[in-house]
Amino acid sequence: KTRSLLSVFEEDAGTLTEYTNQLLQAMQRVYGAQNEMCLATQQLSKQLLAYEKQHFALGKGDEEVISTLHYFSKVVDELNILHSELAKQLADTMVLPIIQFREKDLTEVSTLKDLFGLASNEHDVSMAKYSRLPKRKENEKLKAEVAKEVANARRKQHLSSLQYYCALNALQYRKRVAMMEPMLGYTRGQISFFKKGAEMFSKRMDSFLSSVSDMVQSIQGELEAEAEKMRVSQQDLIAVNESVYTPDSDVTSPAINRNLIQKAGYLNLRSKTGLVTTTWERLYFFTQGGNLMCQPRGAVAGGLIQDLDNCSVMAVDCEDRRYCFQITTPTGKAGITLQAESKKEYEEIGHHWLTETYFFFSHFYFSQNVKNMENDKIIPSESASIQDSTQLIAPGTPIQFDIVLPAMEFLDQNRGGRRANPFGESEDSSKDEEEDSLLQQMFIVRFLGSMAVQSDATSEVIYEAMRQVLAARAIHNIFRMTESHLMVTSKNLRLIDPQTQVTRTSFDLPTVTQFAAHQDNRRLIGFVVHLSEPLGEESMSAYVFESNTEGEKICYAISLGKEIIEAKKDPEALAQLMKSVPLTNDGKFILLNDESEEDGAMREGEESEA
């Protein structure tokens, strides 16, 4: 993220440099034209005075012309003085600031960029040297020297990066000043010229220039505050302990974080360059959705390196390097070989891939020696969360991505007998059943997937279904989604085809036992449908959708429908409930006594974002 953001700032600085050069050329042209005006008025004054020295054959009445031209010559001389002052003001207040901005600020950013690149290269070289330290019988003195070299390189890189970031941040303020200050000087010079010449400008322009001047001063104040803040941050970072920069400083008792939800960092990737030769490349890796991703330097996004589904990870001895491990595919074929930077990273990678991505791993273990692999022990894990998820959804439960076939029919494929209509919709449902419904509200949704579940006692089953559906879509590259209109009434939930207005499926509201919106992505909504089978068995299925609006609004509508069902038993309670129903901008609750279903439900909504 830092390097991606840095590339944006660097692109901005490059664009600013190109624009500044073009702006300077335009301003130098204006300044040159003003200088030419000074020379032209000076020559004009001399030519007016030279009229007297001309020997005209017909010079009768020239005395009046000569005196008039002398007066004009004085006026032109006075104007020439004003033009000269204006040219000097343009040079000092328009051209000079933009030149100083280009030569000082933009050059400083370019120089710091080069220093940052050199420091980064030195750090990479020192890390490569440190990574080549032998695992066995290593020279402690050599290790200490190399570690110190790495620490110095990191400190140098850190300081150069801070200075570079400081300059880039300051440039965002300075460029605004640099763009406005020359024009402020240009405008003031012109106003001064015209005021002295003919008093052509009013006080209104003075107040405008005063406000611009105040804004420039305000920006200067913000710049000083930001610079002071960055100076304090630099001092705090410089004062940290040397161990922060030293790799493997706590090798005896590393502080391992066992509560990671995602692991990311730099690893060395082993690549074969020939039959017996290999190279190691330091790259940035991270886990996402059960996949191992890699983002090369300069790339805007990460790419898939290894699908970790049912893979195993074991420690290996590789070219006498420390902290090496290998990912093995489910078929037993050796995959990629990686090297961690330190023992802490080594242990955290093992713990994270064991406990967090259990859905994609069958097991994870490290061996201390390849020769003694058969005696290795599997790392113990905390299986509480795994057990909880397996109680909610059975492992290996198929996921249905098409709205035509519901997840619960996977349970009925081998049972025989009459096949139920998709999603439990009854074939004899009719429009008359909803004409007395007290609630109708429509939402635009897209079907993501559905699957059978084992429990509907808690909303956690919905969150787990969302996680598995989204993960499966990412793994199998499934991007197609079916869009529908979700109609919430006090009787049922209906999915309506937006083109034909035909009801695709319907769920009786009492069968919807759980419903919840995603805690982070507010547009994800899911619900559990609990149905009784003809043979006395019960089935539960979770359905996951993406909505154009917040999922909480859909949950509120479903909750209101359930309240109406309960309140129908008491007319007074029902009337009180309907009085308390609020109107929203996304939709409104409609009493069907006042409006027909077609007028109330099928309004023109917002366009699909799919």
CB atoms within 10 A of CB 453: 24
| Amino acid 334: pLDDT | 72
pLDDT: is 14 or 532 the higher one? 14
pLDDT of residue 516: 93
- Per DSSP, the three-state class of 126 is helix
Q: Are 199 and 138 in contact (CB under 8 A)?
A: no
Confidence of residue 263 (pLDDT cuts 50, 70, 90): confident
- In this prediction, residue 575 has a pLDDT band, given cuts at 50, 70 and 90, of low
Confidence tier at 481 by pLDDT (50, 70, 90): confident
- Non-local (6+) Cβ contacts of 419 within 8 A are 409, 412
Provide φ and ψ at 455, rounded to 5°.
-150, 150
- Number of helices (H) and strands (E) in the chain: give both, helices first: 12, 14
**Of 252 and 452, the one with more pLDDT:** 452
Give start-end residues of each CATH 2.30.29.30 domain in the chain. 264-365, 436-580
Q: At what angle do helices 140-198 and 62-90 cross, to 10 degrees?
A: 160
Model confidence at 430: pLDDT above 50: no
Q: Which tokens belong to 393?
A: 């959804």
Q: 221-231: per-residue pLDDT in tens?
A: 988 999 999 99
Residue 241, pLDDT > 90, answer no
Cβ neighbour number for residue 584 with a 10 Å cutoff:
13
**The pTM is what?**
0.36
| Nearest-5° Cα angle at 43, 42 to 45 | 65
Which neighbouring-strand residues pair with 311?
A: 361
As beta bridge partners, residue 327 has: 313
Flag whether pLDDT at 422 surpasses 60. no
- Between 519 and 427, the higher pLDDT residue: 519
Q: What is the pLDDT of residue 376?
A: 38
Pick from 291-295, 469-473, 513-517 the range whose average pLDDT is largest. 513-517
Q: What is the mean pLDDT of residues 424-443?
A: 57
Q: Which amino acid is located at 105 in the chain?
A: D
Domain 1-201 matching CATH 3.90.1170.50: the answer reads: no
Tell me the percentage of the chain whose pLDDT exceeds 90.
12
- Report which of residues 476 and 549 the model is more confident about: 549
- pLDDT bucket at 590, cuts 50 / 70 / 90: very low
Mean pLDDT of 15-24: 90
What are the E-state strand segments in 426-552?
A: 440-452, 482-489, 492-496, 503-508, 512-517, 524-532, 538-547
Amino acid at 15: T
Res 136: pLDDT: 67
Position 201 scores a pLDDT of: 46
**What kind of architecture, by CATH, is found in domain 264-365?**
Roll (2.30)
Q: What is the pLDDT of residue 434?
A: 46
The Cα–Cα gap between 511 and 525 comes to 17
Backbone angles phi, psi at 261, to 5 degrees: -100, -15
Q: How confident is the model at residue 585 (pLDDT cuts 50, 70, 90)?
A: very low
- Between CA 224 and CA 170 the distance in angstroms is 9
The segment(s) of the chain belonging to CATH 1.20.1270.60 are 1-201
Q: What is the mean pLDDT of residues 104-122?
A: 89
For residues 386-407, one letter each, b for 16 or more C-beta atoms within 10 angstroms of the residue's C-beta and e for the rest, the string is eeebeebbeeebebbbebeebb
Check residue 523 and give its pLDDT.
86
Q: What is the pLDDT of residue 579?
A: 64
Per-residue confidence band for 216, with pLDDT thresholds at 50, 70 and 90: confident
Average pLDDT over residues 582-599: 42
Closest CA to 156 of 144, 167, 148: 148
Q: What is the DSSP letter of 529?
A: E
Residue 218 has pLDDT above 50, yes or no: yes
Q: Residue 469 is inside which H or E element, if any?
A: helix 460-475
By CB atoms closer than 10 A (0-12, 13-18, 19+), residue 308 is buried
Mean pLDDT of the chain: 76
pLDDT digits (tens, 9 = 90+) for 488-546: 988 889 999 888 888 888 888 889 999 999 888 888 999 999 988 777 778 899 999 99
pLDDT digits (tens, 9 = 90+) for 27-38: 999 999 989 999
- Cα angle 208, 210, 216 (rounded to 5 degrees) comes to 105
Window from 22-26, 164-168, 325-329 with minimum mean pLDDT: 325-329
pLDDT, position 435: 46
Q: Are 269 and 326 in contact (CB under 8 A)?
A: no
Question: pLDDT digits over 48-99, tens only?
Answer: 888 888 877 776 656 767 777 777 787 778 778 888 888 998 999 899 998 9
316: closest CA among 365, 357, 254, 375? 365
Q: Report pLDDT for 593.
A: 35
CA 498-500-504 angle, 5° bins: 75
Measured from the Cβ of residue 136, the count of other Cβ atoms closer than 10 Å reads 7
CATH 2.40.240.20 fits 436-580, yes or no: no
CB 173 within 8 A of CB 226: yes
Residue 583 is given by DSSP the state P
Place of tokens 């043979």: 535
Q: What is the pLDDT of residue 211?
A: 64
CB proximity list for 152: less than 8 A, separation 6 or greater: 126
Q: Cβ distance 581 to 589 under 8 Å?
A: yes
For residue 128, is pLDDT > 60?
yes
| 561 and 509 Cβ atoms separated by less than 8 Å | yes
CA Rg value for the chain: 38
pLDDT tens across 185-211, in order?
Answer: 888 888 888 877 766 445 555 665 676
pLDDT at residue 582 in the model: 57
Look-up of token digits 């079907």? 447
3-class SS string, 344-374: HHHHHHHHHHHHCCCCCECCCCCCCCHHHHH
Q: Are the beta carbons of 245 and 286 closer than 8 angstroms?
A: no
Q: Which helix (H) or strand (E) holds 281?
A: strand 278-288
